[in-house]
Amino acid sequence: MEKVRPQWGRQRQFVFACISYAVGLGNVWRFPYLCQLYGGSFLVPYLVMLFVEGMPLLYLELAVGQRMRQGSIGAWRTISPYFSGVGVASVVVSFFLSTYYNIINAWGFWYLFHSFQDPLPWSVCPLNGNHTGYDEECEQASSTQYFWYRKTLNISPSIQENGGVQWQPALCLTLAWLMVYLCILRGTESTGKVAYFTALLPYCVLTIYLVRGLTLHGATNGLVYMFTPKMEQLANPKAWINAATQIFFSLGLGFGSLIAFASYNEPSNNCQKHAVLVSLINSSTSIFASIVTFAIYGFKATFNYESCLNKVILLLTNSFDLEDGFLTASNLEQVKDYLASTNPSKYSQVFPLIQNCSLESELDTAVQGTGLAFIVYTEAIKNMEVSQLWSVLYFFMLLMLGMGSMLGNTAAILTPLTDSKVISSHLPKEAISGLVCLINCAIGMVFTTEAGNYWFDIFNDYAATLSLLLIVLVETVAVCYVYGLRRFENDLQAMTGRALHWYWKAMWACVSPLLIIVLFVFYLSDYILTGTLQYQAWDATQGQLVTKDYPTYALAAIGLLVASSTMCIPLVALGTFIMHRLKRGDTAPVA
C-alpha cells in the first residue's frame, strides 16, 4: 500500500504556517533599526526590493515545493540529480539555524517567568554586599543592562573564558525544545493547528501595544523621528543593499522550510496568490511593528531626556541653594546664564558635572537584535504603569514569533528526513522529531555557557548569511536554466491550471539572480576588506561593551560554519557525477 503524503487540514493552515514562519523576530528587531539608520525614506528601497526580489523568489520556492511534493533534498534531486546538494545545504543551514535560534526562545521564557514579580527584577539595581549602596556593575551600566548581561547571560569578559553550562538558561532551553517538540510532534496535523496561534496572537499583542504606545507621553517624538525621510540616504548604496538583505532574510528563503510547507499542499493550490499574500503580510507586519517600536522609543527617549533634565536641575539647585521648584525645564537655560554671570567661579566648578541633555541623541541610539528586544524594550516597559502586564504581553508575543519561526526551521529538517525511505521505515515520525530536538538541544547547551552569547553572535552573523545567498542563487539558476524555465512553466500550468505571468519569468530568469550576485559580491568584499573580524564583549568593570578580536579557533569555527553548508553543493554534485560515471562504467561492457 502506498503511503499517502500528509496534507494540511485546511488551505488556510498552510497560509498561516507560512506567515508565522516569515513573520519572526527580524520584523520586530531588525527592520525598526534599519528605519532608524536610513530614515523614513528606507521604505522606498524596501518596497522596490519586495516586488523585485522577495515575491518572485518566494513564489519560486513555493512552486518548487508544491510541484515536487517532497522536502528540499528530494525536490532538488528531482530537478536534477547534480543539484541535490542544494537541498543538503538547505538542511545543514536549517540545522544551524534551529540550534541557535531556540536560545532566543529560552531567553524569552526566562524574562516571561520573571515578569510575574513586583517590582520587575530589571527595574531596580540589587544592593551591594554591605547594603550601603547599589551593585557597582549595575551603577555603571543600567538596571536593564545589568539584568540582561549579569542575571540572564552571566556573561564572561571574552569568548575565551567559557565558564560552565548554567542551569537556569539550560532549563529554559530544555523547556523551549519541549515546546517545539510538542508543536511538531504530529507533523502537519499539529503544525497546522499551532500555526493559527503563532500567526494571529502576535498581531493581537502588537495592536494592544500600538494603542498603548500611541497614548504614552512622548510617543509622537519617536513617530515624527521615524517618518522624517532622510532623502540623501536614497543615494546611499548601503541602504539598498540592506533593504535587499532584509527582504531576503525576512522571508526565510533558502532554508527549505517554504519548500517543505508547500510540499504538503494539494497540487492544484494557487501558490501564486499565497506567495503575494505572504510577502505583503510580512512587509506590512514589519512596518506595523516599527510604528509600535518607534512609539515606544519616543516614550523611552522622552523619559530619559526628562530624567536627565531633572538631574541637572537638582545639581544646580543643590549647588547654588536655589529655592526648591524654582528651576524648571523651561527656564533652565536662562537661569544657567544668570548663574554663570553672577557666580562665575562656583559655576565653573559645577559646569563639568552638568550633562548635555538632548532628545535627539536619545532617539539616535539605534539598537538592533537582542539588545533591542531585551534591553531597550524592557527599559521602556519598566516605566509604564502596570508594567507586569505589559511585560508578560510583550514576552508572550516574542515567544509566539520565535516559536512560529522554529516550526518552519524544524519542518525544513524533518521533511527530508521523513521523506527518505531509509529512515522513515525504521523509525516512526515522533521518534525522528524527538531525536532531532534532542540533538539540537544538546548542541544548544553551548549557548547557555558564560561565553554563550558570543557564540550566539557568531552563529547569528555567519551561519546563514553567505550560504543562503549562494543557495538561492543556485536554486534560481537550477530551475530556470538546468530544469528549463519553459518546462517548469508547463508543469505549473498543468498543476494549477493557470498560465505563468511574464513578470515572474522575467524576474526568475534575469533580475533576481543578478540581484543576488550583487549582494553576494558585496558581502564577500565586505568580509575580505574588514580584515580581522571583531566582536563586542561586555566589560563588567566599565559597564559597557568593548570591541575585541576573535581568537583563531573562533575564526576557524566561522570558516567551518560557512564552508560546511556551501561546500555541500559542489561536493554532492561531484559525488553524483562520479557515481554516474561508475555506473556507466559498469553497464558499458554489458551493452
Known binding-site residues for Na(+) equal 22-23, 27, 250, 282, 401, 405
Among 11, 154, 158, 317, binds another protein (CB under 8 A): 317
Could you give the CA distance from residue 163 to residue 32 in angstroms, rounded to a whole number?
Answer: 34
- Dump the DSSP string for 209-234: HHHHHHTSTTHHHHHHHHHSB-GGGG
Give the interface segment with another protein, choosing from 112-120, 214-222, 271-279, 504-512 (CB under 8 A): 112-120
Among 180, 247, 190, smallest CA distance to 400 is for: 180
**456 alpha carbon, distance to own chain's centre:** 12
Question: Is the Cβ of residue 137 or residue 475 nearer to another protein in the bound state?
Answer: 137
Q: Which three cell numbers stand for residue 152?
A: 540572564
* 113 touches another protein by CB under 8 A: yes
Residues 52/510, Cβ–Cβ less than 8 Å: no
Query: Taking the complex as a whole, how short is the minimal distance between the CB of residue 346 and another protein, in angstroms?
Result: 14
Question: Is the Cβ of residue 170 or residue 540 nearer to another protein in the bound state?
Answer: 170
Question: Is the Cβ of residue 198 or residue 290 nearer to another protein in the bound state?
Answer: 198
- Dump the DSSP string for 544-575: EEEEEEPPHHHHHHHHHHHHHHHTHHHHHHHH
Among 110, 248, 374, 394, binds another protein (CB under 8 A): 110
Residue identified by cell 523619559 is 303
Among 519, 474, 449, smallest CA distance to 61 is for: 474
Among 9, 10, 127, 228, binds another protein (CB under 8 A): 127
| Amino acid identity for residue 555 in this structure | L
Q: How many Cβ atoms sit within 10 Å of the Cβ of residue 304? A: 21
- Torsion over CA: 518, 519, 522, 528 (sign): negative
Query: Taking the complex as a whole, how short is the minimal distance between the CB of residue 104 and another protein, in angstroms?
Result: 17
Query: Taking the complex as a whole, how short is the minimal distance between the CB of residue 54 and another protein, in angstroms?
Result: 35
Give the interface segment with another protein, choosing from 128-136, 454-462, 552-560, 582-590 (CB under 8 A): 128-136
Question: Is the Cβ of residue 133 or residue 559 nearer to another protein in the bound state?
Answer: 133
Residue 399: partners with Cβ closer than 8 Å, 6 or more residues away: 105, 108, 109, 112
Give the interface segment with another protein, choosing from 113-121, 156-164, 281-289, 526-534 (CB under 8 A): 113-121
Query: Taking the complex as a whole, how short is the minimal distance between the CB of residue 114 and another protein, in angstroms?
Result: 5
Residues 415/75, Cβ–Cβ less than 8 Å: no
Question: Is the Cβ of residue 280 or residue 322 nearer to another protein in the bound state?
Answer: 322
Query: Taking the complex as a whole, how short is the minimal distance between the CB of residue 116 and another protein, in angstroms?
Result: 6
Q: How many Cβ atoms sit within 10 Å of the Cβ of residue 564? A: 16
Q: Is 50 helix (H, G, I), strand (E, B) or coil?
A: helix
Question: Is the Cβ of residue 132 or residue 530 nearer to another protein in the bound state?
Answer: 132
Query: Taking the complex as a whole, how short is the minimal distance between the CB of residue 215 and another protein, in angstroms?
Result: 23
Query: Taking the complex as a whole, how short is the minimal distance between the CB of residue 288 and another protein, in angstroms?
Result: 29
* 464 touches another protein by CB under 8 A: no
- Mark the binding-site residues, compressed into ranges: 22-23, 27, 250, 282, 401, 405
| Amino acid identity for residue 167 in this structure | W
* 338 touches another protein by CB under 8 A: no
Residues 285/204, Cβ–Cβ less than 8 Å: no
Could you give the CA distance from residue 476 to residue 455 in angstroms, rounded to a whole number?
Answer: 32
Q: Is 587 helix (H, G, I), strand (E, B) or coil?
A: helix
Question: Is the Cβ of residue 79 or residue 313 nearer to another protein in the bound state?
Answer: 313
Residues 83/482, Cβ–Cβ less than 8 Å: yes
* 117 touches another protein by CB under 8 A: yes
Could you give the CA distance from residue 238 to residue 233 in angstroms, rounded to a whole number?
Answer: 9
Question: Is the Cβ of residue 276 or residue 423 nearer to another protein in the bound state?
Answer: 423
Among 2, 3, 132, 352, binds another protein (CB under 8 A): 132
Could you give the CA distance from residue 351 to residue 355 in angstroms, rounded to a whole number?
Answer: 9
Among 9, 10, 133, 582, binds another protein (CB under 8 A): 133
Among 129, 325, 497, 589, binds another protein (CB under 8 A): 325
Residue 547, phi then psi, degrees to nearest 5: -90, 135
Question: Is the Cβ of residue 152 or residue 246 nearer to another protein in the bound state?
Answer: 152
* 114 touches another protein by CB under 8 A: yes
Using CB under 8 A as the binding rule, the residues of this chain from 162 to 201 that contact another protein are 171-172, 175, 178-179, 181-182, 185-186, 190
Using CB under 8 A as the binding rule, the residues of this chain from 478 to 537 that contact another protein are none
Give the interface segment with another protein, choosing from 28-36, 314-322, 381-389, 478-486 (CB under 8 A): 314-322
Among 564, 567, 563, smallest CA distance to 575 is for: 567
CB-count burial class (<10 Å; 0-12, 13-18, 19+) for 367: middle
Among 1, 235, 588, 590, binds another protein (CB under 8 A): 1
* 321 touches another protein by CB under 8 A: yes
Query: Taking the complex as a whole, how short is the minimal distance between the CB of residue 250 and another protein, in angstroms?
Result: 29
* 2 touches another protein by CB under 8 A: no
| Amino acid identity for residue 12 in this structure | R
Residue 90: partners with Cβ closer than 8 Å, 6 or more residues away: 72, 73, 254, 255, 256, 259, 412, 471
Give the interface segment with another protein, choosing from 218-226, 280-288, 315-323, 492-500 (CB under 8 A): 315-323
Among 325, 413, 17, smallest CA distance to 197 is for: 17
User: What is the contact mask toward another protein in residues 409 to 448, using x (rule: CB under 8 A)?
Assistant: -------------------x-x------------------
CA end-to-end span of the chain: 35
CB-count burial class (<10 Å; 0-12, 13-18, 19+) for 119: exposed
Query: Taking the complex as a whole, how short is the minimal distance between the CB of residue 390 and another protein, in angstroms?
Result: 17
Among 9, 10, 116, 237, binds another protein (CB under 8 A): 116
Give the interface segment with another protein, choosing from 236-244, 254-262, 317-325, 457-465 (CB under 8 A): 317-325
Query: Taking the complex as a whole, how short is the minimal distance between the CB of residue 125 and another protein, in angstroms?
Result: 10
Residue 473, phi then psi, degrees to nearest 5: -60, -50
Query: Taking the complex as a whole, how short is the minimal distance between the CB of residue 173 and another protein, in angstroms?
Result: 12
Could you give the CA distance from residue 82 to residue 76 in angstroms, rounded to a whole number?
Answer: 8
Residues that bind another protein (CB under 8 A): 1, 109-110, 113-114, 116-117, 126-127, 131-134, 171-172, 175, 178-179, 181-182, 185-186, 190, 317-318, 321-325, 428, 430
